[in-house]
Amino acid sequence: MNKHDLFQQFVAFTATLHQVTQTLTQNVKLDHITALQYKILEYIQVSQAVTATEISDCLHISLPNTSRELRKLQERKLIEKTNDKLDRRKQVIRLTIDGEKMMTEAFACIEEQFSQLIQGASQKDVEAISEALAVLEQKVFQNKGQ
């Protein structure tokens, strides 16, 4: 196995994962939340407190478009912005209680689909999958920066 073969395998894997992800999430009816808004909410949830610039950089959305989507999410009371004390240009963005509730519900729905996907997995399989995910996180995504 050389790096070229690994690349081929990685591409195929990625394509499959994208399809699976879409299958898992397609039944989640999130009351007028678009795919992009969902991605933003998901990012905020895992990162806890972020700025608009961080969202823009990490999700590869231009800052004006990020700002627009954040405004919509704020109007829907799913996120809230608070001023950064140290740098008053910045805004710290967090999920509101409503936002967290919505994401929790969405995750519950996705988790149900997910558990069907791995229903055949034994305890040993679960450990193996977890270990595999950890390996990829560590060895591939380690320096994912910029």
Partner DNA sequence: TCCACTACTTATCATTTGATAACAAAACGA
Partner DNA sequence: TCGTTTTGTTATCAAATGATAAGTAGTGGA
Interacting residue ranges for its own copies, rule: CB under 8 A? 1-7, 9-23, 26, 39, 42-43, 46, 58-60, 107, 110-111, 114-115, 117-118, 120-121, 125-137, 139-144, 146
66: exposed, middle or buried (C-beta count within 10 Å: 0-12, 13-18, 19+)?
Answer: buried
Choose between 67 and 113: whose C-beta lies nearer to its own copies.
113
Instruction: Choose among DNA, its own copies, none what residue 29 binds, the Cβ cut-off being 5 to 8 Å by kind.
Output: none
Q: How far is the CB of 43 from DNA (least distance, A)?
A: 13
Question: Among 36, 76, 100, 113, which residue interacts with DNA (rule: CB under 7 A)?
Answer: 36
Q: Which of 88, 107, 89, 90 is nearest to 45 (CA)?
A: 107
Question: Is the C-alpha dihedral spanning 20, 24, 30, 32 positive or negative?
Answer: positive
97, amino acid identity: I
Site for DNA in 44-83 (CB under 7 A): 51-54, 61-71, 81
| Closest CB 92 distance from its own copies, rounded Å | 20
Question: And the tokens for 71?
Answer: 């405004």
Smallest CA-to-CA distance from 16 within 121, 141, 117 is with 117
Nearest residue (CB) to its own copies, 27 versus 82: 27
